Structure 1
Amino acid sequence: MPEYLTPGVYVEETSFRSKSIEGVATSTLGMVGATRYGPLPHVLTIADPGGAAPINLPVVTNTDPPLVTSYTEFERAFGGLGNVSERTNYLALSVRAFFGNGGRRVYIARAFGWPRDGQGEIDQAQVDAQFATRGVATGGAEAAQWRARWPGLAGREMKVDVTFTRGKNIVVRGADAQGVETARLTTVREFALVELAALVDGRPPQFPDDQLPDPVNLRVVLRDPVDRDLKFEGAGGGLEAIPPGQAGFHIQLTVMVTWADRVDVYTELAIDPRHPRSIMKVLNQQDPADEFALVWLRQIGDPTAAQLLTALLAADSQGYLTGGADGTDVIPRDLEGEEVSPNDPRKPATGLFALADIDDIAIVAMPDTASFADEGLRKTAVDSLIGHCERQRYRMAVVDPPIESSISEVREFRSQFDTKYAALYYPWLEIVDPNAVPDPGSPVPKLMLPPSGFVAGIYARSDIERGVHKAPANEVILGLTKFERNVTYGQQGVLNPEGINALRFFEGRSNRVWGARTLSSDPEWKYVNVRRLFIYLEHSIDKATQWAVFEPNNERLWASIRQTIEDFLLVTWRTGALMGTRPEEAYFVRCDRTTMSQNDLDNGRLICLIGVAPTYPAEFVIFRIGQWTADANRTT
């Protein structure tokens, strides 16, 4: 009990109700795969163009896969639908299908095929070649370098333009009739709207505005450490003033980065790194003002502000970046990724491991698994996807079959897996190719896509409109022209018992998901909605009862936990997620001496037993009808 040592009145707050449980989100998707561009967490060694020893340079600092809430956001962060290394960009197309079918939130973990050495490790000597660059030279030597923030051929399509403006706020230094310099104007105390470390061009008051700054006349505004007045740092590094008869014009830069239809404009930039809007800070590789900035400026050596400005404004320093590469083809190891290094805190998780710490992901898909021609690679990739969901416990995987699979081939593929945390959908879907421009009079180009993006969107749509307890089946699929093959009634009679969910076309009812089974041989976890309902219940209870850890393990705590969980299950039952006409028929919660022995109590264990009666989908709707003889003389 609290301490009461000093006499007085004590007002204390207490609670007379049980703590509530808030249901977790179930419609958030996590995807892993290759993209044209975008965030890619990794720590790599890049050689210093200035000749210094190689340095550890993080490719990005945002180690968590970014959240995307629309396809427009995805395009800005990861590029469009174009091919990756001449391979179909299945991830981008699947994200597009996800949002087109009702999805709202997806985390993207980009995978990249880094060149590897003979031991299978990333070949650091080839890392730098994966990034597009453009040199910024002055006097024949590089003063800086524009670099793509992430690797990929897409960097070659990025164009950088730098312009400058002269501010209207000026200081003019003059002299009196005897030629004595006017003392009042020896500092820049009245140089309004100019911050410390701003760049100033000292020139005669009248001259063309578009004339390039002369490095000799450039000054940096600093504070004198002695008299604390604002003064100018000249080319020699000392604090001085603008010569008599000249004016000081504030120089600011504008950087425009163009990539396809995307144009990013960064205004009011300064050169000196001490300025709050220094170009080195705004377009920094590690922590830029724009999370999805395309390029960054890397300073080489120690150029002065005047030298760097001159180099940036030079025509040869602007234009398209060059170089860059898409690495090698992505393999299952790239998709699975690596865990956080225990020895190097700067090395983040990649691939599937990068999704592990994002708590709100409930669905996981990896469309690139279906692109592997080799059967062994394909199975390895799917195994890593299933293993990820089983380790995380609160996630469901959507598995894609191989392209152009026959009924026998998809059954053989399915027979390799047995898990309650994944579901397989068949066949692939045909869409109009969004990258191709048809010739007049020619057929519209088509493209085949794996079903995971479409199905994940239907999962999300069903959860949002009905709830996680509703089987994500008998739902219309949007955004396709037709299925790769038509699954007939008889063929589904073979596929359905084996846990292969068919996608079928019904005349007058469009294209629909016509199956809701997992890849489990356990009849308790046969249905997708039952598995996902328990994921929802378990995850919600797990998150909302963390307060109970280290509380006194007695009857009062047991009663509080029982009430908390019963209140949550009551609300769940009222939504139609559980069976029973009364709450007593739908669930029970036990947390007392019957669930714990004295040994459990002595070892700090609290055991709560929860039973729920889930609703199963009406997979087979049967109407029995027969003839009835109406006998007038029959009595009842």
Structure 2
Amino acid sequence: MAVSVSYPGVYVQEISSGVRTITGVATSIAAFAGWAPTGPNVATLVTSWNDFVEQFGGLDSRSYLGYAVSHFFSNGGQLAYIVRLVSTVAADAGQVGDLQLEVGETNGEKRFIELRTRREGTWSSEYGAALTVTDDRFQIVVSQKGAKKDELVPVESFVGLSTKQDDERYVLNVLNAQSKLLQMDEPDPKKDPLPVPTKPVAFTPFAHGRDAKVLDPDPNGADKGKAFVDALNANRTQGGGGLVLLDDVDLFNLLSVPGLQDTAAIQLLSAYCHQRRALLLVDAKKAATITTVPTDAGDLHTSDSSYAALYFPWITAPDPAADNRLRAFPPSGFVAGIYARTDAGRGVWKAPAGTEATLVGASRVTTTMTDVENGLLNPKGVNCIRDFSGYGTVVWGARTLDGNDEIGSEWKYVPVRRTALFIEETLYRALKWVVFEPNDEPLWAQIRLNVGAFMNDLFRQGAFQGTTPKDAYFVKCDKETTTQSDINKGIVNVVVGFAPLKPAEFVIVRIQQIAGPIATA
């Protein structure tokens, strides 16, 4: 703003430097989709395994979802969105538990306070509530049945409650706002208001809780995985809404649908990841072999294949829900955790593979392969997981589904694709301030300054090839990139280029003997 001068003297004016610091977006927020017996039907953020257990019930041997999330967090993951898939058939939906607390009588008619659980499922039968009365107030205690007969373990308590709607401790408002287990419906305005409790109520368990129909992605199952795929593709008016619920999520970087083996569904997910600037982690078929998996990779290839990476084989690991007996699990949950751990320690430009990429919690792979067999799969864009003595089970591949050598794609490597997505998403968000600014050299100079500073910071962190910034990246925004015709159309063009780091897949060591001095005379 110009200074308005009115008297002789010194005037101080602050001038903007034009610097708008660009901060990189997160790179390892995962999204998991699968069936769970209970949980909210919205894309839900969980920040720990305990958080998932609290909202979705933990491990369930009928679904890979809980196990994949557990593997993600145990291998370094920190943030994940969960999309709970439910049947599109209304009759297959689950049901919440409910109970009625008989609190008195009016004109000989019994009066109740009705409670419901927040989540559906049979788990609710292990919980219940009791009510005690103190003067004109009452208390509700929620307990879980203990291991011993008649043992109750209190989990929630709400004191000083009232049935008066204008009271700050109105029971409906308190429970709906504070309880993690209970909820109450608004009373019917055509009926009497909530009754005032006049007598205590002993512990009463919830009833009628029912799990939703199990959805299995296995193509060899009873319905060949059809109900699972239908739920995945459901719109918002069908069941829980399917993967479309992720549209409400601002940002995710990795997508896993554990155990999914339907080719058409995987291709659709690759296209969706392209749209969301994310990467799909694809599980090889459970029955895949070293011979069949290259064909599977070829069948999955589309124009969006650089937004997906295929991992083979499945992982054998202890099952905590079955006395830690060994069981085969899809690898994508483990791999998503490896991505997060690598990003945190080395950066998104480091391949999430190698001797550092050890799978925590894995016992072994379901298919052991030799170096020669690995050499048959790697050029086909199949990322192998292998057991190495001294290192354990490690990820030993870093190619996208565009990584088949015969394709010759510039996006054959996972870290190259993910680095580009990171830069694209960051600049997409960071340059919103440019919209509606005067489209001329002062604006272009500011863009070059801010984007250049961001790219230089990445260069100093080792994200690019080259020994100097000039060799590593460039930022162009001037009259060459934005012509007068562009200006007339309201367009400003920013061109950003970078020299990506590519993983050293093949380390060649040349050894030569040095002959000792040879007497020639």
TM-score, normalising length: structure 1? 0.71
Tell me the distance in 2 between the aligned counterparts of 1:623 and 1:517.
Answer: 23
Q: Does structure 2 retain, via aligned residues, the 8 Å contact 1:336–1:384?
A: no
In structure 2, the CA distance between the partners of 1:531 and 1:262, relative to structure 1 (3 Å rule), is: farther
Q: Deviations over 1:275-316 (max 9, x none)?
A: 2222211223xxx334xx2231235546656735259x445x
Tell me the distance in 1 between the aligned counterparts of 2:445 and 2:240.
Answer: 41
Specify the alignment match of 1:96 in structure 2.
70
TM-aligned CA deviation for residue 390 of structure 1: 1.2
Tell me the distance in 1 between the aligned counterparts of 2:317 and 2:283.
Answer: 16
TM-aligned CA deviation for residue 473 of structure 1: 0.3
- Percentage of identical aligned residues: 34
**Aligned counterpart in structure 2 of residue 145 of structure 1, from 110, 114, 126:** 114
447-456 vs 326-335, which deviates more? 326-335
Tell me the distance in 2 between the aligned counterparts of 1:501 and 1:142.
Answer: 64
Q: Does 1:270 align with 2:149?
A: no
Specify the alignment match of 1:289 in structure 2.
178
Structure 2: state its 5+ residue gaps. 147-152, 216-226
Q: Does structure 2 retain, via aligned residues, the 8 Å contact 1:153–1:326?
A: no
Within a 5 Å distance, the mapping from 1:77-156 to structure 2 comes to: 77-83=55-61, 87=62, 89-115=63-89, 123=90, 126=91, 130-136=95-101, 143-156=112-125
Q: Does 1:623 align with 2:509?
A: yes
Q: Deviations over 1:363-388 (max 9, x none)?
A: 11111425xxxxxxx22332332122
**Aligned counterpart in structure 1 of residue 197 of structure 2, from 309, 313, 326:** 309
Specify the alignment match of 1:491 in structure 2.
373
**Aligned counterpart in structure 2 of residue 387 of structure 1, from 271, 279, 282:** 271
Tell me the distance in 2 between the aligned counterparts of 1:262 and 1:512.
Answer: 43
Tell me the distance in 1 between the aligned counterparts of 2:94 and 2:254.
Answer: 35
TM-aligned CA deviation for residue 273 of structure 1: 2.8
In structure 2, the CA distance between the partners of 1:397 and 1:299, relative to structure 1 (3 Å rule), is: same
**Aligned counterpart in structure 1 of residue 129 of structure 2, from 140, 161, 166:** 161
Larger radius of gyration between Structure 1 and Structure 2: 1
Q: Does structure 2 retain, via aligned residues, the 8 Å contact 1:133–1:324?
A: no
Tell me the distance in 1 between the aligned counterparts of 2:248 and 2:480.
Answer: 36
Specify the alignment match of 2:253 in structure 1.
362
Three-state SS of the structure 1 residue aligned to 2:306 is coil
Q: Give the letter aligned to residue 133 of structure 1.
A: D
Three-state SS of the structure 2 residue aligned to 1:579 is coil
Q: Deviations over 1:59-91 (max 9, x none)?
A: xxxxxx2321111111111112124xxx2x211
Q: Does structure 1 retain, via aligned residues, the 8 Å contact 2:97–2:206?
A: no
TM-aligned CA deviation for residue 325 of structure 1: 3.2
TM-aligned CA deviation for residue 93 of structure 1: 0.7
TM-aligned CA deviation for residue 518 of structure 1: 0.2
Q: Does 1:445 align with 2:328?
A: no
Specify the alignment match of 1:201 in structure 2.
none
Specify the alignment match of 2:223 in structure 1.
none
Within a 5 Å distance, the mapping from 1:384-533 to structure 2 comes to: 384-392=268-276, 394-418=277-301, 419-437=305-323, 445-474=325-354, 475-520=357-402, 521-533=407-419
In structure 2, the CA distance between the partners of 1:541 and 1:424, relative to structure 1 (3 Å rule), is: same
Q: Does structure 2 retain, via aligned residues, the 8 Å contact 1:114–1:328?
A: no
Specify the alignment match of 2:219 in structure 1.
none
Within a 5 Å distance, the mapping from 1:600-611 to structure 2 comes to: 600-611=486-497
TM-aligned CA deviation for residue 397 of structure 1: 1.0
Tell me the distance in 1 between the aligned counterparts of 2:241 and 2:427.
Answer: 29
Q: Does structure 2 retain, via aligned residues, the 8 Å contact 1:104–1:460?
A: yes
Within a 5 Å distance, the mapping from 1:59-74 to structure 2 comes to: 65-74=43-52
Three-state SS of the structure 2 residue aligned to 1:273 is coil
Within a 5 Å distance, the mapping from 1:577-596 to structure 2 comes to: 577-596=463-482
Q: Give the letter aligned to residue 336 of structure 1.
A: N
Three-state SS of the structure 1 residue aligned to 2:116 is strand
Q: Does structure 1 retain, via aligned residues, the 8 Å contact 2:85–2:240?
A: no
Q: Give the letter aligned to residue 567 of structure 1.
A: A
TM-aligned CA deviation for residue 615 of structure 1: 0.7
Q: Give the letter aligned to residue 408 of structure 1.
A: T
Specify the alignment match of 1:19 in structure 2.
20
Within a 5 Å distance, the mapping from 1:198-347 to structure 2 comes to: 249-258=135-144, 263-284=155-176, 288-290=177-179, 293-298=180-185, 301=188, 307=195, 309=197, 313-315=200-202, 318-327=204-213, 329=215, 330-338=227-235
Tell me the distance in 2 between the aligned counterparts of 1:536 and 1:262.
Answer: 46
Three-state SS of the structure 2 residue aligned to 1:298 is coil
Q: Give the letter aligned to residue 163 of structure 2.
A: I
How many residue pairs align between the two structures? 487
Tell me the distance in 2 between the aligned counterparts of 1:421 and 1:262.
Answer: 48
293-302 vs 531-540, which deviates more? 293-302
Tell me the distance in 2 between the aligned counterparts of 1:583 and 1:31.
Answer: 38
Three-state SS of the structure 2 residue aligned to 1:145 is strand
Q: Give the letter aligned to residue 163 of structure 1.
A: L
Q: Does structure 2 retain, via aligned residues, the 8 Å contact 1:30–1:361?
A: yes
Three-state SS of the structure 2 residue aligned to 1:99 is helix
Q: Does structure 2 retain, via aligned residues, the 8 Å contact 1:145–1:299?
A: no
Tell me the distance in 2 between the aligned counterparts of 1:383 and 1:7.
Answer: 69
Q: Does structure 2 retain, via aligned residues, the 8 Å contact 1:143–1:301?
A: no
Tell me the distance in 2 between the aligned counterparts of 1:336 and 1:310.
Answer: 51
TM-aligned CA deviation for residue 630 of structure 1: 4.5
Three-state SS of the structure 2 residue aligned to 1:367 is coil
In structure 2, the CA distance between the partners of 1:324 and 1:18, relative to structure 1 (3 Å rule), is: same
Tell me the distance in 2 between the aligned counterparts of 1:14 and 1:415.
Answer: 58
Three-state SS of the structure 2 residue aligned to 1:416 is helix
Tell me the distance in 1 between the aligned counterparts of 2:196 and 2:398.
Answer: 62
Tell me the distance in 2 between the aligned counterparts of 1:369 and 1:430.
Answer: 17
Tell me the distance in 1 between the aligned counterparts of 2:317 and 2:158.
Answer: 38
TM-aligned CA deviation for residue 33 of structure 1: 1.4
TM-aligned CA deviation for residue 509 of structure 1: 2.0
Tell me the distance in 1 between the aligned counterparts of 2:185 and 2:68.
Answer: 35
Three-state SS of the structure 2 residue aligned to 1:109 is strand
In structure 2, the CA distance between the partners of 1:633 and 1:337, relative to structure 1 (3 Å rule), is: farther
In structure 2, the CA distance between the partners of 1:153 and 1:380, relative to structure 1 (3 Å rule), is: farther
Q: Does structure 1 retain, via aligned residues, the 8 Å contact 2:142–2:154?
A: no
Three-state SS of the structure 1 residue aligned to 2:300 is coil
In structure 2, the CA distance between the partners of 1:29 and 1:160, relative to structure 1 (3 Å rule), is: same
